[in-house]
Amino acid sequence: MRKLLFAAAALLALAAPAAAEDKLKVGFIYVGPIGDFGWSYQHEQGRLAMMKALGDKVDSTYLEKVPEGPDAERAIEQLARSGHKLIFTTSFGFMDATVKVAKKYPNLMFEHATGYKREKNLATYSGRFYEGRYIQGVIAAKMSKSGVMGYIASVPIPEVISGINATMIGAQTVNPNIKVKIIWVGEWFNPGKEADAAKALIDQGADVIMQHTDSAAAVETAAKRGIPAFGQDSDMIKFGPKTQLTAIIDNWGPYYTERAKLALDGKWTSTDTWGGLGSKMVVMAPYTNMPDDVKNLAEDTEAQIASGKLHPFKCPVVAQDGSTVECKGGTHLDDGQILGMNYYVKGVDDKVPGK
Amino acid sequence: MQWLDLTYLQAIILSVIVASTPLLLAASGELVVERAGVLNLGVEGMMIMGAVCAFAGAELTGSTLVGTAAGILAGVAMAAIFALLTLGLAVNQVATGLALTIFGLGLSGLIGAGFVGQRITPAPQLDLPVLTDLPFIGKILFGQDAFVYGSIVLVIGIWWFLYRTRPGLVLRAIGDNHGSAHALGYPVLSLRTGAVLFGGACAGLAGAYLSLAYTPFFIAGMTAGRGWIALALVVFASWRPARLVIGAYLFGGVTILQLHAQGAGLDIPPQLMTALPYLATIVVLVAISRTRGVAGSAAPASLGLAFVPDR
């Protein structure tokens, strides 16, 4: 038995280098479990799409549930040492760890999602999710009879706040008097509490529910009450077959495929990608459970944003206190302003927690 | 004013009941365990295993009942590991309990990987003809699912067992002084094993409630710290079943009310509200230690101590 094992090990040892030489090894670091059906799940879908597209030209490994902090550095380094040439780290909190490891291994290629620190061998990428939020706002305002939208928010960081603002601006194009009720759950992921928040919003008169938390609980709860809702991160139509209007889907597959291809061809460079509807990094799930005119309006809005004709933060953007926000991007707010957004726009009748 | 609206009040109470039930289920099991002198910090792990196995059972057979049974069994199986280590081999209970939680969270993710994104029909609400249609109280008292009624029956049963039966008295005696109880000829280890398994069953049931009724799907880590709140709850209740009910509904109520307060535009920091159950537990702990001189410690005196019977 031992002999047999030894022989097998020797065979593997012989076979491995031959296979590894012509294949590009790609590594992925996920912050959550791939079973979260949200953020990490979508990155995993992206990895699978890349594997499918490039077939036997690439090999890939992923490490899931990697805590943000010192452990992350070890995990990234582990991938770097085990022959991975291209490594994607997929959470904001991995930023400093990725920078450190990237400096240590100048010959490898690194990519960090949602961050802003770049190196010669460290690129960044993220999705313009606020574009999808704007469309959701338009649909919500059309669908709401009470004129009150219910918004389940996670933690008050700029990405979430800009999402609320984009929703509001989109909704106001349909109904200038639209209101939004916001409940902060205080966590990204707590299905029970997300469901409770959805119930609370519905009980307080919101008749369309949207969320910036990670589970399908809100869509599911709204479906139970017959209230239309929007999915988050992935298509959650299964949880609300008669009530989900659409969902913002994080679509990483094409990006991962493209970057791996560039790496294979030796053309990879450090870039900063912030993809939206136009580059299909953000995709809308099919528009369902709404009248045709709303569907047409949604599709039209999507096309306009995708082509660049319409910008959700088109100037003038008026802040909650009535002041006009400085227009640094010419006709719309510039990316830095959106990435650092920490105030509500006019019409949001609430306070940013902790401000 | 919206707050005075009866249907709105009813809606809040209904949400509070749903949010409190898993806490009550898990905590009542842990209360019995701790009364027997064993500290099992693995509630979160047993609960999530209950959640995934219950979901798997219900998804594969289409029956909520089979799912619930699977959840309970999973909790018992996890508790059996704990019993084997801490009672059989007298391993440190705190370390074992923590390991059980970590193990459960990991294993449940593995088992649940194939069930991600699936949805089942939620556990039915047991509507009683006439009674459920009563205004206001009808839906609250007679429109719940079986888990809610089960949790109340469970706590009453535990109270009756602990304070009105001889085995209950022996169990409490073991928890307070296992040496003396052993000297009197009581089977310390087998009673403790029974208590630990019962605690596992309750945690498994609580997990089943999460994945079958609360939010009828499974996602890795969906217990989201409820096992820890249940542990805090036992201390908060100073190891008494009646206070446990009050505590569970208080903790559940705080969670729901802060969500409603936010929706209504009241300016309360959500972070503070999330921390409130733990703050309350600390306050109670301080209160208990202040009164210790008068009424004796509320905690079972042998809590967390390993017991190795001499010959």
By the 8 A CB rule, do A276 and A305 touch? yes
Structural domains in chain B plus CATH codes: 11-117+142-295 (1.10.3470)
What integer is the mean pLDDT of A238-250? 94
Q: What is the model's pLDDT at position A13? A: 44
**A121 and A135 housed in the same domain:** no
**A118 and A146 housed in the same domain:** no
Cα–Cα dist A308/B274, whole Å:
41
- Residue A284 falls in which region: left (phi positive, over 0), alpha (psi -120 to 50) or beta: beta
**A81 and A203 housed in the same domain:** no
Per-residue pLDDT tens for B178-187? 999 999 999 9
Cα–Cα dist A353/B262, whole Å:
10
Return the amino acid letter for A335.
D
Q: What tokens appear for A148 in the block?
A: 């009150």
pLDDT exceeds cutoff 60 at A4: no
Q: Average pLDDT, whole number, for chain A?
A: 90
Most A CBs within 10 Å: which of B215, B223, B229, as the mutation test of the A interface?
B215
Residue A36 forms part of a structural domain: yes
CB atoms within 10 A of CB A132: 30
A124-128, A161-165, B109-113, B149-153: segment of lowest average pLDDT: B109-113
By the 8 A CB rule, do A26 and A58 touch? yes
Residue A12 forms part of a structural domain: no
Choose among B116, B124, B211, B60: nearest CA to A238: B116
Partner residues linked to A28 by β-bridges: A62, A88
pLDDT-based confidence at B311, cuts 50/70/90? low
Cα–Cα dist B135/B85, whole Å:
52
Residue A328 forms part of a structural domain: no
**A118 and A133 housed in the same domain:** no
Cα–Cα dist A221/A198, whole Å:
7
Q: What is the model's pLDDT at position B291? A: 66
CB atoms within 10 A of CB A352: 17
pLDDT-based confidence at A350, cuts 50/70/90? confident
Write out residues 265-324 of A within 8 Å (CB-CB) of B.
none
- Sheet of A282-284: strand order equals A179-184, A148-153, A209-211, A229-233, A244-250, A282-284
**A205 and A301 housed in the same domain:** yes
SS (H, E, C) A205-234: CCCCEEECCCCCHHHHHHHHHCCCEEEEEC
Q: What is the model's pLDDT at position A17? A: 43
Residue A163 forms part of a structural domain: yes
Residue A14 forms part of a structural domain: no
**A96 and A171 housed in the same domain:** no
By the 8 A CB rule, do A254 and A221 touch? no
Cα–Cα dist B273/B279, whole Å:
10
Please state whether the predicted TM-score (pTM) of the whole model is above 0.90. Answer: no
How many Å lie between the alpha carbon of A223 and the closest alpha carbon of chain B?
Answer: 12
**A204 and A85 housed in the same domain:** no
By the 8 A CB rule, do B140 and B18 touch? no
- Residue A310 falls in which region: left (phi positive, over 0), alpha (psi -120 to 50) or beta: beta
Choose among A123, A119, A124, A117: nearest CA to A104: A119
Cβ-based neighbours of A343, under 8 Å, separated by 6 or more: A161, A319, A320, A352
Residue A339 forms part of a structural domain: no
Q: Which of A126, A150, A166 is the last residue of a domain?
A: A126
Q: Average pLDDT, whole number, for chain B?
A: 88
Residue A298 forms part of a structural domain: yes
Cα–Cα dist A323/B100, whole Å:
55
Q: Which of A269, A292, A307 is the last residue of a domain?
A: A307
Length of chain A: 355
**A99 and A151 housed in the same domain:** no
CATH number, domain of A41, equals 3.40.50.2300
A20-34, A247-261, A277-291: segment of lowest average pLDDT: A20-34
What integer is the mean pLDDT of B120-127? 78
pLDDT exceeds cutoff 80 at B127: no
pLDDT-based confidence at A65, cuts 50/70/90? confident
Choose among B225, B191, B265, B205: nearest CA to B76: B205
Q: What is the model's pLDDT at position A10? A: 45
Q: What is the model's pLDDT at position B267? A: 72
Percentage, residues of chain A above pLDDT 70: 94
Give the pairing type, strands A282-284 and A244-250: antiparallel
Per-residue pLDDT tens for B225-264? 899 999 989 988 889 999 999 999 988 888 888 888 888 8
Query: What total of structural domains would you count in chain A?
Result: 2
Q: What is the model's pLDDT at position A15? A: 43
A33-42, A155-164, A296-305: segment of lowest average pLDDT: A33-42
Write out residues 150-189 of A within 8 Å (CB-CB) of B.
150, 181-187, 189
Residue A346 forms part of a structural domain: no
Cα–Cα dist A268/A259, whole Å:
7
CA dihedral B287, B291, B296, B297 (to 10 degrees): 20
CA distances from B15 to A41, B21, B284 (A): 29, 10, 26
Asked if A34's CB is within 8 angstroms of B119's CB, the reply is: no
**A196 and A299 housed in the same domain:** yes
**A113 and A43 housed in the same domain:** yes
Diameter of chain A measured on Cα atoms = 79
Q: What is the model's pLDDT at position B293? A: 52
**A95 and A227 housed in the same domain:** no
Residue found under tokens 């291209």: A86
B13: nearest CA partner in chain A: A200
CA distances from A53 to A49, A56, A61, A109, A271 (A): 6, 9, 16, 20, 22
Residue found under tokens 């528009």: A287
By the 8 A CB rule, do B28 and B158 touch? yes
Q: What is the model's pLDDT at position B292? A: 58
What integer is the mean pLDDT of B39-51? 96
Rounded to 5°, angle at Cα A98 from A97 and A99: 90
pLDDT-based confidence at B139, cuts 50/70/90? confident
Q: Does B268 touch chain A (CB under 8 A)?
A: no
By the 8 A CB rule, do A112 and A121 touch? no
Cα–Cα dist A319/B152, whole Å:
50
**A55 and A79 housed in the same domain:** yes
Q: Is A272 helix (H, G, I), strand (E, B) or coil?
A: strand
How many Å lie between the alpha carbon of B249 and the closest alpha carbon of chain A?
Answer: 15
Q: Which of A67, A101, A126 is the last residue of a domain?
A: A126
Q: Is A273 helix (H, G, I), strand (E, B) or coil?
A: strand
Tell me which residue range forms the domain holding A43. 21-126
Q: Does B102 touch chain A (CB under 8 A)?
A: no
pLDDT-based confidence at B285, cuts 50/70/90? confident
How many Å lie between the alpha carbon of A151 and the closest alpha carbon of chain B?
Answer: 9
What integer is the mean pLDDT of B129-155? 82
Q: What is the model's pLDDT at position A18? A: 42
